[in-house]
Homo-oligomer: A and B are copies of this chain.
Amino acid sequence: MHPETRFDNYFKSAFTVDSVIFGFDEGALKILLIRRSEAPFDDYWALPGYFVRQDEDLDEAAQRTLRETTGLENVYLEQLQTFGSPGRHDFGRVITVAYYSLVKIADFTPRADGLSRDVRWHDLSALPDLAFDHNEIVGTATEKLKRSIRTRPVGFELLPPEFTLTDLQHLYEAIWETRLEKRNFRKKILSMQLLVDLERMQEGVAHRPARLYRFDEQRYQELTQEGFNFELREGKSR
């Protein structure tokens, strides 16, 4: 370690990582929360996360703490923002590096762990009071999601492997909290060459069955690189 002591005063902080995990189900956006099992905020709902170890990379810590609190593994986590108000933690100076991700709800079975009493998907539109400044973090993440879905093919991670155009439209509508015009949405999304027609149909629905699609992995990578511009004015019909 360093030979000098004049920096010692600075080495008294801790940092944590917290993850905002978005999912999509039943036409609504969800967030994965844990119920804390230790002070402070014992028993409160909170974002999955914990302290970062001394020799641990931030990205790794995010993966590990997500696993240890919810059981989720191999989730692609992207750094969101760092929150560090002096008063945000009772035990001392703790700043948190927030991550976020989009996952298919069906792909994972969250389970509580030593660090959490409970894990559950919550409707984004009806969140309880969360521990620390986690409500603020969720707000920031939601803003970012709204913006990034306009420039990147985001639906990919939120929808099941096979989906209908209406599913995809509902996803956009849920994130943007708006209604889109069906015809124009379809024309736009199809013109991007991002979807592959599976040439199969929905089954067991009480109406004309919809065509099933999947994302074209190749094209998805391209568009993620270049970025695109997905904008549609609000529409009445759905």
Query: Which residues of A pack against B, CB within 8 Å?
Result: 1-2, 4, 7, 9-15, 39, 51-58, 79, 81-82, 84-86, 90-93, 95, 97, 147, 150-151, 227, 229, 231
Contact = CB atoms under 8 A, between A and B. Distances in A.
How many copies make up the complex?
2
A7 B14 contact: yes
A92 B11 contact: yes
A229 B11 CA distance: 44
Given A11-B13, A54-B9, A58-B82, A1 B91 contact: yes
A51 B9 CA distance: 10
Ranked 6 nearest A-B pairs via Cβ: A2-B91, A10-B14, A58-B84, A82-B82, A10-B51, A11-B14
Nearest to A93: B54
A4 B91 CA distance: 9
8 contacts: A2-B91, A10-B51, A10-B53, A10-B54, A11-B13, A11-B92, A13-B14, A15-B84
A7 B91 contact: yes
